[in-house]
């Protein structure tokens, strides 16, 4: 017999369903992801720390879970919400089913709710703090708990997902890249390795002096969770490194770079989460379908156009998706060119970073 579970949002909306994965109670900001596949990569993306993810595709788990498709050392979502969790899985790489995987890592899940209704609610009202529980089935009590939960605004969550000490990803390579780990996805490191880079990954708390000691050819600013405004120590570090080497930022790294140039970021209504976001390059007019996961965005009007200029725009809501410095080898994108899950339209940004380092070496 299935165990009951309830999802309650801070605005009083309640969804009744059934438990899958771990039992218990968990809180976080509830967002929806429009990817049809790639649930394992989504679960293990550190950028989801502090959030509970609702998958819009109705059947999740049908190809199981394997050892290769992880994007970090463990799942970081606070909770997982699906219409139907498949007990039967079929794939030659699969090692276990989704429910067992969530249970192993103590991730509370809920299934059997109307995920279309939840997604529509979040689109209309915005992302909401929520609670999933299998032990407290009182809707009034859970709504109160959701209201009291911390949310994302003003929170520094990267210290919970970053590496604790520096490590080398690839020991050989023509270019030496230092990557500031704010919750870096493994496919970023794989893409750099594929392009002949030796990567030293350092914690987000690393100082400018510590990074310069590595004498890197380039600096990479990773993705990560939480509010970029809560990270002044990284912003100060990046400020001190601009102009000393090529810099490439992705997602949170893009936002950190904007703050380093005196810009501002803002909380989006419901963010971008999924693998079908259209982005246009304002120079070439080329449109790419991109993978995205972010709830904050850069206000380009707050940055001096004498330094940074807009390069990419989201075609759904016209928000900033990329920028570059007018003179220095510095650029960033809000979306995820490393994908995992796809699509892979934007992987060429890694090639641009390599070319910047190549020119600097010459």
16: which strand partners? 6
| The token pair that represents 78 in the structure block | 């606070």
Per residue in 276-290, pLDDT (tens digit) is 999 999 999 999 999
Q: How many residues comprise the chain? A: 362
pLDDT score recorded for residue 18: 98
Verify cis geometry, omega within 30 degrees of 0, for the bond prior to 343. Answer: yes
Report the SS3 class of residue 333.
Answer: strand
Which pLDDT score, from 0 to 100, does residue 296 have? 98
For 248, phi then psi, to 5°, come to -130, 125
* pLDDT tens readout for residues 336-349: 999 998 899 999 99
* Residue 355: φ, ψ to 5°: -65, -40
Query: Residue 330's pLDDT is what?
Result: 98
Distance (Å, rounded) from C-alpha 196 to C-alpha 56?
37
What integer pLDDT is reported at residue 1 of this predicted model? 81
pLDDT number for residue 361: 84
Domains within the chain, CATH numbers bracketed: 4-148 (3.50.30.20), 158-361 (3.40.50.880)
Active site residues: 251, 336, 338
Q: What is the mean pLDDT of residues 282-302?
A: 97
The predicted model gives 6-11 an average pLDDT of 98
* pTM for the structure as a whole: 0.96
Report whether pLDDT(186) > 90. yes
Measured CA to CA in angstroms, residue 360 lies from 2, 201, 217, 241, 246 at distances of 60, 21, 8, 15, 8
The tokens for 219 are 């600096």
Residue 343's pLDDT is: 92
Give the per-residue pLDDT at 281.
98
What confidence tens digit (pLDDT) does each residue in 78-123 have? Answer: 999 999 999 999 999 999 999 999 999 999 999 999 999 999 999 9
319 dihedral zone (left: phi>0; alpha: psi -120 to 50; beta): beta
pLDDT of residue 362: 79
């Amino acid at each position: 017999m299935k165990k009951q579970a309830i999802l309650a949002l801070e605005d009083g909306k309640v969804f009744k369903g059934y438990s899958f994965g771990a039992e218990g109670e968990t809180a976080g900001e509830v967002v929806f992801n429009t990817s049809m596949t790639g649930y394992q990569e989504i679960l293990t993306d550190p950028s989801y720390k502090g959030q509970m993810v609702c998958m819009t595709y109705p059947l999740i788990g049908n190809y199981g879970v394997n050892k290769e498709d992880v994007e970090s050392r463990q799942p970081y979502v606070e909770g997982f919400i699906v219409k139907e969790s498949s007990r039967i899985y079929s794939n030659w790489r699969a090692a276990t089913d989704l429910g067992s995987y969530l249970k192993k890592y103590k991730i509370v899940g809920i299934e059997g709710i109307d995920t279309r209704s939840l997604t529509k609610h979040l689109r209309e009202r915005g992302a909401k703090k929520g609670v999933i529980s299998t032990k407290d089935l009182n809707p009034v009590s859970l709504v109160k708990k959701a209201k009291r939960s911390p949310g994302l605004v003003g929170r520094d969550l990267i210290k919970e997902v970053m590496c604790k000490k520096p490590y080398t990803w690839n020991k050989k390579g023509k270019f030496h890249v230092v990557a500031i780990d704010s919750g870096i996805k493994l496919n970023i490191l794989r893409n750099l390795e594929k392009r002949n880079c030796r990567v030293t990954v350092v914690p987000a708390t690393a100082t400018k002096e510590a990074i310069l000691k590595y004498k890197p050819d380039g600096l990479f600013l990773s993705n990560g969770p939480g509010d970029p405004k809560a990270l002044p120590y990284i912003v100060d570090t990046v400020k001190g490194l601009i102009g000393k080497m090529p810099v490439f930022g992705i997602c949170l790294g893009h936002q950190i770079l904007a703050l380093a140039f005196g810009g501002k970021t803002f909380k989006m209504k419901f963010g971008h989460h999924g693998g079908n976001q259209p982005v246009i390059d304002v120079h070439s007019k080329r449109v790419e379908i991109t993978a995205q996961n972010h709830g904050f965005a850069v206000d380009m009007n707050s940055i001096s156009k004498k330094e940074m200029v807009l390069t990419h725009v989201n075609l759904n809501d016209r928000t900033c998706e990329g920028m570059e410095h007018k003179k220095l080898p510095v650029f960033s994108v809000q979306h995820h060119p490393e994908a995992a899950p796809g699509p892979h339209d934007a992987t060429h940004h890694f090639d641009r970073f390599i070319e910047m380092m190549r020119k600097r070496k010459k």
